Amino acid sequence: MEWADKAVGFLLSYISLSIFTYYTFWVIILPFVNSDHFIHRYFLPQEYAILIPVFAGMVLLCFLSLFIGYVMLKSKKKKA
């Protein structure tokens, strides 16, 4: 395995772990911290904890549907 592949894998793992930690802290721990605490400045309002993943999931489903439709149309043209 090349060093570049290992570096990309490490970077993707680090980013995923960072996002998971941030989101977990935001959703699970932050509601129990006083609202006047300074840590609240580093996080979006609680409503976005649901809106962002729902929007990202919808975008992912749209692109997945477009990709599947494109592949199905392309394979139908090859048969004909």
38 and 2 both lie in a single domain = yes
Provide the number of structural domains found in the chain.
Answer: 2
55 and 37 both lie in a single domain = no
The band of 78, judged by pLDDT with boundaries at 50, 70 and 90, is confident
The band of 1, judged by pLDDT with boundaries at 50, 70 and 90, is low
Residue 50: per-residue pLDDT: 92
Q: Average pLDDT of the chain?
A: 92
2 and 39 both lie in a single domain = yes
Q: Residue 43 CB: number of other CB atoms within 10 A?
A: 16
Distance linking the first and last C-alpha atoms of the chain: 41
Residue 33: per-residue pLDDT: 92
Q: Decide: helix, strand or coil at residue 36.
A: coil
pTM of the model: 0.69
Contact partners, residue 16, CB within 8 Å, separation at least 6: none
> CB–CB of 43/30 below 8 Å?
yes
Q: Is the pLDDT higher at 14 or at 78?
A: 14
39 and 18 both lie in a single domain = yes
35 and 1 both lie in a single domain = yes
- Which structural domain range is residue 64 located in? 45-80
